[in-house]
A and B are shown apart, each in its own frame.
Chain A
Amino acid sequence: MIGRIWRPIRQHRVAWGFLLPAILGMVLVHFLPLVQLVGISFLDSRRTNLGLGLSAPAVGEGAGILGNYLSIFSEASDPFHLGLVDAVVNTAIFTLVVTFASIALGLAGALLVERMGRWRGFWRALLMTPWIVPAYVVGLIWGVFWQQDSGVVNNSLHALGILGEDRSTWPMWLSGSLTRWAVILPAIWREWPYALLLFSLGLQSVPPGIHEAAQLDGAGPWTRFRFLTVPLLMPAGSLVLLHGLVYNIYSFNLPLMLFGAGSGNGGRQGDLLMPIIFRNTFQRWDFGRGAAATVVLTVGMFLVVALWYRVFRSDLERIR
């Protein structure tokens, strides 16, 4: 019996030897903690018993072992719950708007860049700059730009004649209903160059003669785009979509630093999932519930990725 396990290991010992450090590290840092995470989500671990660690009492009363999960979703008086619904909605809207806007802008930009021929690389690099700026810096600077009375956005609008003289009537971007856009717009600004890059690389791999051939066959520009360009760009597009979904749902640095330079709150329209989980876990030290929310979030994300995989499986084969 042992031989059946041992022989393949011996046979591939070089390969497994090469993998060993990575496997060891990943078990310690990725897999074990995940198991622990699920465990913590069943404990009533909070600020007052943090020192007990994993020996904190299990959630018992009322809903039984699933108490943490149920309370964050349904218990109206739970502090975590109070902001969670808004955060979920905000994150969903945020992700969809930012991802699709970046895809649209990135595609348009890539087509434009493609026209530049040899200068492609230069333009690409130039347009990539926002993506290089660290996300928390983007949050920080836009937190200053969006200021009602002294921010450059409102003052520019005023200079263009769109806003009047009375500063107190100017829109408040960082509180109230406009916070959604205060978070979305910088995110789009930072994200679209990445989409542009992937689409641009994808466009480069299009066989050169194809467009001319289609033109000779009588296909107009729109037809060519729909039936030629788009399918060829699907692999790149699928990657952009995946990246957009994962990155934006998990967006943390940008929304955190946008409000009060890290100490503020996005409010009903501007608060996203990761900031609220962080706040409840590492500020209120509500570890049990934070773990539960994270588990749910992770499972949700896996579903999203699984869905993505089913839709784009064929395109992915093409990359391999």
Chain B
Amino acid sequence: MRKLPMLILGVFLGVGALMGCKSRDVVPEGDGKTRLRLWAMPNTDGPKDVLEQILGRFRAQNPDIEVEVEIIDWGAAWDKITTAVSSGAGADVFQLGTTWTSSVTAMGGLLPLDGLLQRVGGDTIFVSSARSYMKPIYADSITSFPWFVDVRPMFYRTDVLAKVGIRPEAMFADWDSYMAGLRKIKAARVTLEGQRVEPLGIAGKDWNVFHNFYPWIVGNGGGIINDLGDSVLLDDEKSIQGVLSYLRFFREGLAPRAYLEKGAAQVSHEFDEGRIAIWQETSSKLVYLERPVREGGDNSPGAKHFAAVLPPAGPAGRKLFIGGSNLAIFKSTRHREAAEKLLAFLTTDSVAVLTFCKISGFAPALEKTFQDPYYQENPNRVLFRDLVLSSKPYPAVPYWGDIETVILNKHFGNILDIAAGGPQGKGGASDGSFSEQEVRKELKTAADQIRALIQREIQSNPANAARLAGLRQKDDR
């Protein structure tokens, strides 16, 4: 039977031919151009188009560089990035969240960017809150540049405050005045356009849960871990009091418990619909609220009567959440110079940064962008810079990601359960009270777990312990 070997040969040839043929998107090679791959996450609607648009100028300035943009969902991005870092098979330039920078740097595999930073003008070109992630705690060199930052203004209903007779500047000054204002709104039982308006909206257990608690902890003078990342502050009395202050919103019925079953997107929609008076969200919401109807914008009560404001300051000052994304280069890249050019363009070219921030609604990490009339002349946007200046970034240690996703989100989710009176808001005391003891216990457990984790992490890599000792010495001096 000669047919069988023929069949096998045919299959091999077919397979070989298929391997040779190009997929639709791959640009034909051999025209002398340098081909760069950029990995980005969906930061905007139509993310690929937006980036292509921004890269238009880059391509015009660098006709010998071809950039292929690949959009990877946040859920899969961590996998792909860490696999690429360890295996050396990945893109050239890629986006990563600020809290990832430290972990990914610790895996090795990122190109040092100190030289590039010198060439573009040093780290003062970026806002101060974004600088700590450029060179994480255990890193020897700068491994990423800030691209944009995620700051969270508070949005409030101008008509509701006007109706109740509250001046925004007074209400959002500090925690006491904030609570007083919320209580006043609740007591006034506001109804507008046929809709009952609750004072405040807080979403349930999604990935934001810890970010919401954070300003209240640090604003009270507490913290999670210290900046060096080697001691735990979560069970200090100031931190605990901060958490308890935040929980007062539920205890006093200022934030409806029903929203604890909803995610952030849903409660955001509730603000649009006019059912809550105050809502805190990433600055990108502003883009949505300001969009004209004809372009797909909204005509809801929230969109009609809103304004943005700085959140109130705690006893230790105004210390807010700041997130965002950086851009980095894989060490395994074959086109180092071109990759550096691309990275520099996206993070330091004012037009590129401004265009991106206009479309996405995020705030720029590049200092001089804030001088643009786009920010200066809009009352809602002018406070972005203040938000950035008032923020306190998370410590840039490699194990922060673990701490946040595994320990903090879980325990703060439990704390929300306690405050809501049982899982998902069912059951529990009708007067909104809950056991302070349980909250303290939860925080203590979390703090102990963080201690154990830090202990293990520092010991697993002897180099880390040495670096830490060095950093401690510098601190003491």
Whether A82 contacts B75 by the Cβ 8 Å rule is no
How far, in whole Å, are A135 and B464 apart by their CA atoms in the complex? Answer: 43
Measured between alpha carbons, how far is A122 from B433 in the docked complex, in Å?
65
A77 touches B449 (CB 8 A): yes
Determine which of A44, A47, A57, A284 lies in contact with B106 in the assembled complex, contact meaning CB atoms within 8 Å: A47
CA distance A13 to B74 in the complex (A): 56
Q: In whole Å, how far is A276's beta carbon from the nearest beta carbon of chain B?
A: 12
For the complex, is A33 an interface residue (Cβ under 8 Å from B)? Answer: no
| Contact residue among A49, A51, A262 (Cβ-Cβ distance under 8 Å from B460) | A49
User: 8 Å CB contacts to A: which residues of B72-89?
Assistant: 73-76, 78-79, 82-83, 86
Of the candidates A46, A47, A79, A282, the one whose C-beta lies within 8 Å of that of B406 is A79
Per-residue CB contact flags for chain B residues 458-474 toward chain A (1 = under 8 Å, else 0) read 01111010000000000
Closest to A56 in B: B460
Evaluate contact between A263 and B448: CB separation under 8 angstroms: no
Assess A282 versus B83: contact at CB under 8 Å? Given A176-B424, A263-B74: yes
Counting CB contacts under 8 A, is A48 at the interface? yes
List chain B residues, Cβ under 8 A from A46.
460
Distance between Cα atoms of A79 and B51 in the complex (Å): 37
Which of B424, B453, B461 sits near A77, CB closer than 8 Å? Answer: B453
Contact between A262 and B75 (Cβ–Cβ < 8 Å)?
yes
Cross-chain contact B75 with A260 (CB below 8 angstroms) = yes
Q: Which residues of B contact A263 (CB under 8 A)?
A: 73-76
The answer, among A61, A76, A176, A285, for a CB contact under 8 Å with B86, is A285
Q: Which residues 433-477 of B sit at the A interface, judged by CB distance below 8 A?
A: 448-450, 452-453, 457, 459-462, 464
Cα distance, A77 to B76, chains bound together (Å) = 26
Question: Would you call B410 an interface residue if the criterion is a C-beta within 8 Å of the partner chain's C-beta atoms?
Answer: yes
CA distance A77 to B406 in the complex (A): 10
For residue B107, CB closer than 8 A to chain A, the reply is: yes
**Cβ-based interface call for B228 (8 A):** no
- The docked-state distance in angstroms from the alpha carbon of A73 to that of B121 is 51
Checking B103, B410, B449, B462 against A47 with a beta-carbon cut-off of 8 angstroms, the contacting residue is B103
Collect the chain B residues with CB atoms within 8 Å of residue A283's CB.
78-79, 82
The residues of B that contact A82 with a CB separation of less than 8 Å are: 406, 410
A79 to B73, CA, bound (A): 24
Q: Any chain A CB within 8 A of the CB of B398?
A: yes
On chain B, the number of residues with a Cβ less than 8 Å from chain A's Cβ atoms is 30
For A163, the chain B residues whose CB sits under 8 A away are none
Residues of A within 8 A of B86 (CB): 50-51, 285
Output the least CB separation between A43 and chain B (Å).
Answer: 10
Q: Number of A residues contacting the other chain (C-beta, 8 Å)?
A: 25
Q: Per-residue CB proximity of A77-97 to B under 8 Å, as 1/0?
A: 111001000000000000000
A48–B402 CB distance below 8 A: no
Chain B, residues 251-270, CB within 8 Å of chain A (1/0): the string is 00000000000000000000
The chain A residue with its CB closest to the CB of B451 is A77
Q: Which residues of chain A from 1 to 58 have any CB-CB distance to chain B below 8 Å in the complex? A: 44, 46-51, 57
Q: Does B382 contact A (CB under 8 A)?
A: no
Cα of A76 to Cα of B449 in the assembled complex, Å: 8
* Nearest CB of chain B from residue A305's CB, rounded to whole Å: 31
B38-77 interface (Cβ within 8 A of A):
73-76
Which A267-295 residues sit within 8 Å CB-CB of chain B?
282-285
Q: Answer whether residue B233 sits at the interface, using C-beta atoms and an 8 A cutoff.
A: no
Q: Which residues from chain B contact A57 at a C-beta distance below 8 Å?
A: 460, 462
CB pair B79 A282 closer than 8 Å: yes
Complex CA–CA separation, A50 to B103 (angstroms): 12
Q: Say whether B76 contacts A44, CB under 8 Å.
A: no
Closest to A259 in B: B75
User: What chain B residues lie within 8 Å of A48 (beta carbons)?
Assistant: 106-107, 398, 457, 460-461, 464
Could you tell me the distance in whole angstroms from the C-beta of A112 to the nearest C-beta in chain B?
Answer: 39
- A44 and B458 CA atoms in complex are apart in Å by 12
**Contact flags (1/0) for B74-115 with A, using CB distance below 8 Å?**
111011001100100000000000000001001110000000
A221 contacts the other chain (CB 8 A): no
Closest residue on chain A to residue B450 by CB atoms: A77
Name the B residues within 8 Å of A75 (CB-CB). Answer: 452
A245 to B424, CA, bound (A): 35
Query: Measured between C-beta atoms, what is the minimum distance from B21 to chain A in Å?
Result: 24
**Is B407 interfacial (CB-CB < 8 Å)?**
yes
Cross-chain contact B407 with A47 (CB below 8 angstroms): no
Q: How far is the CB of A203 from chain B (nearest CB, A)?
A: 34
A264 to B263, CA, bound (A): 14
Q: Are A79 and B407 in contact (CB under 8 A)?
A: yes
| Closest residue on chain A to residue B449 by CB atoms | A77
**How far in angstroms is the closest Cβ of chain B from A129?**
27
Docked Cα-Cα span, A47 to B457, in Å, equals 10
Residues in A neighbouring B83, C-beta threshold 8 A: 282
Query: Of residues B79, B407, B460, which shows the largest number of chain A Cβ atoms within 10 Å of its Cβ?
Result: B460
Beyond A47-B106, A57-B460, A285-B86, whether A79 also contacts B448 by CB under 8 A is no
Would you give the 0/1 interface string for A155-198, flagging 1 where the beta carbon is closer than 8 Å to chain B? 00000000000000000000010000000000000000000000
**Contact partners of B453 in chain A: CB under 8 A:** 77, 79
Whether A50 contacts B107 by the Cβ 8 Å rule is yes
Question: Is the pair A285, B424 in contact by a Cβ cutoff of 8 Å?
Answer: no
| Cβ distance A277 to chain B, nearest Cβ, rounded Å | 14
List of A residues within 8 angstroms of B448 by Cβ: 77
Q: Check A264–B75 contact: CB distance below 8 A.
A: yes
Q: Note all chain A residues with C-beta closer than 8 A to B75.
A: 260-264
Contact A44 B460, beta carbon cutoff 8 Å: yes
Q: Which of A48, A76, A285 has the most CB of B within 10 A?
A: A48
Contact A79 B402 (CB under 8 A): yes
Return A83 CB to nearest CB of chain B, in Å.
Answer: 9
* Chain A residues within 8 Å of B, Cβ to Cβ: 44, 46-51, 57, 61, 75-79, 82, 176, 260-264, 282-285
A-B contact pairs, 23 of them (CB 8 A): A44-B460, A46-B460, A47-B82, A47-B103, A47-B398, A48-B107, A48-B398, A48-B457, A48-B464, A49-B461, A51-B108, A57-B460, A75-B452, A76-B449, A77-B407, A77-B448, A78-B452, A79-B406, A79-B453, A82-B406, A262-B75, A262-B76, A283-B79
Give 4 closest A-B pairs by Cβ, nearest first: A263-B75, A77-B449, A79-B406, A77-B452
